[in-house]
Amino acid sequence: MKVSDERRAAYLKAYEDWQHQLSALHEVFLDGSKTLTGDQMKGLLNREARAKERYDRARLELLGISAPGASPFD
């Protein structure tokens, strides 16, 4: 299966961004190497969640699947 360079680049960027945010999250929850205040924790969780959403959208687009809710008939 061959995909366009644009879709491939968008997918790889979204994946790399999500992995970066996930790594930061793991430093707090799994490694315990960072401690954060309430606002910092909220920001960390929000950044990871948004990065995951962007990755999920890019993944669906790469696979040629329309995003849920994109159809007026759903």
Residue at 35 is within a domain:
yes
For residue 31, give the DSSP letter.
S
Two tokens at 18?
A: 């999500």
Number of structural domains in the chain: 1
pLDDT tens for the chain, 74 residues: list them.
788 999 999 999 999 999 999 999 999 999 988 888 899 999 999 999 999 999 999 999 999 888 777 666 65
- pTM score of the predicted model: 0.82
Unique residue bearing structure tokens 């961004």: 17
Domain range enclosing 55: 5-63
Q: What is the CATH number of the domain that holds 25?
A: 1.10.287
Residue at 59 is within a domain:
yes
Asked if 55 and 15 touch (Cβ cutoff 8 Å), the reply is: yes
